[in-house]
């Protein structure tokens, strides 16, 4: 919703949601989940359009589909972003 003030940053993989800040140091240690190969990759993997991430660790990236499902569920149940549930 345009103009609606809400803390959407809680859905992003950054410090506000327990993720990582993308600093120079952190960027060298990013991990991705490739949707084509269903596997975890480093920065030198498939193109970003085919991946979820970045994640702070290999283990976190391996849970990418579960994390995405949890975020979708949170958005679906957030009254600030779902006009059907008001």
- Alpha-carbon span 65 to 28, nearest angstrom: 23
Cross-strand pairs, 52? 33
Q: Are 38 and 9 in contact (CB under 8 A)?
A: no
pLDDT band at 15 (very low <50, low <70, confident <90, very high): very low
pTM score, two decimals?
A: 0.61
Tell me, what's the pLDDT at 81? 81
pLDDT in tens, 24-42: 444 468 999 999 999 999 9
pLDDT in tens, 32-75: 999 999 999 999 999 999 999 999 999 999 999 999 999 999 99
């Amino acid at each position: 919703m345009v103009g609606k003030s809400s803390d959407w940053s809680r859905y992003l993989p950054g410090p506000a949601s327990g993720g990582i800040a993308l600093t120079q140091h952190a960027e060298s240690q990013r991990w991705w989940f490739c949707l084509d190969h269903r596997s975890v990759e480093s920065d030198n993997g498939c193109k970003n359009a085919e991946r979820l991430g970045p994640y702070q660790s290999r283990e976190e990236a391996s849970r990418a589909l579960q994390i995405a499902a949890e975020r979708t569920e949170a958005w679906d149940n957030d009254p600030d972003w779902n006009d059907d549930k008001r």
